[in-house]
Chains A and B, each alone.
Chain A
Amino acid sequence: MPLPARRRRGTVASYRLFAAPALLFAAAMIVFPFGYAVWLSLSEVALGAAPRFVGVANFTRLFGDEEFWNGFTLTLELYLVALVLQLVIGTWLGLLLARSRRARGLVRTVMVSPFMLPPVVVGMMAIVILDPSFGVANWLLAEAGLPPRLWLADTETVILTIAALDTWQWTPFVALIVMGGYLSLPRDVFEAAEIDGAGGWWRFRHVTLPLLGPTLVTAAVLRSVDLLRFFDIIYLTTQGGPGRASTTLNILAYRRGFEFFELGYASAIMVTLSAMVLGSVLAFARLRRAVAW
Chain B
Amino acid sequence: MVTRRLARAADSIQLVLVLAVLVLPVAWTFLSAFKPRTEVAALPPRLLFTPTLENFAELFGRNDFLLNTWNSLVVAGGSTLLGLALGAPAAFAMAWHRLSWPATATLFARMAPGALFLLPWLVMFSALGLVGSHLVLILTHAVITLPVVIWVLLPYFDAMPRELVESAQIDGARGDQVFWKVALPVVMPGVIVAAILSFVFSWNYFLFALVLSGIETKTAIVASFNFIGEGVTNWGALMAAAVVIAAPPLILTLLIQRRLVGGLAAGAVKG
Contacts and interface: CB of A to CB of B under 8 A. Distances in A.
Interface of A: 9-11, 13-19, 21-23, 25-26, 29-34, 36-37, 40, 93, 96-97, 99-100, 102, 107-121, 124-125, 127-129, 134, 136, 139, 168, 172-173, 176-177, 180, 218-219, 221-222, 225, 228-229, 231-232, 235-236, 250, 253-254, 257-258, 263, 266-267, 270-271, 273-274, 277-278, 281, 285
Question: Shortest 3 CB-CB distances between A and B: which pairs?
Answer: A22-B90, A10-B169, A33-B120
Given A19-B90, A218-B269, A281-B111, A121 B15 contact: no
Contacts of B271: 221, 281, 285
B21 A37 contact: no
A173 B113 contact: no
Given A120-B204, A232-B206, A273-B113, 17 more contacts: A15-B92, A15-B175, A17-B175, A29-B142, A112-B261, A113-B26, A115-B264, A124-B224, A129-B28, A134-B41, A168-B21, A168-B25, A180-B261, A218-B269, A221-B271, A231-B115, A270-B119
28 contacts: A18-B89, A19-B94, A21-B86, A26-B146, A29-B140, A30-B108, A34-B108, A34-B117, A97-B15, A100-B12, A110-B19, A112-B257, A113-B22, A113-B250, A114-B22, A124-B242, A127-B228, A128-B32, A134-B41, A139-B43, A168-B21, A168-B22, A177-B265, A218-B265, A228-B113, A229-B114, A250-B113, A266-B115
A167 B114 CA distance: 21
A222 B262 CA distance: 12
A120 B206 CA distance: 7
Contact of A99 (B11, B108, B111, B116): B11
A26 B22 contact: no
Interface stretch (B51-59, B98-106, B186-194): B98-106
Given A19-B94, A134-B43, A232-B207, A10 B257 contact: no
B93 A96 contact: no
B44 interface: yes
State the majority secondary structure of interface residues on A.
Answer: helix
A270 B113 contact: yes
Contact of A136 (B28, B99, B113): B28
Interface size class of B (residues with CB under 8 A): 35 or more
Contacts of B105: 26, 30-31
A119 B265 CA distance: 18
B2 interface: no
Name the residue in B92, B115, B206 with the highest tally of chain A Cβ atoms < 10 Å from its Cβ: B115
A113 to B, nearest CB: 6
Contacts of A277: 111-113
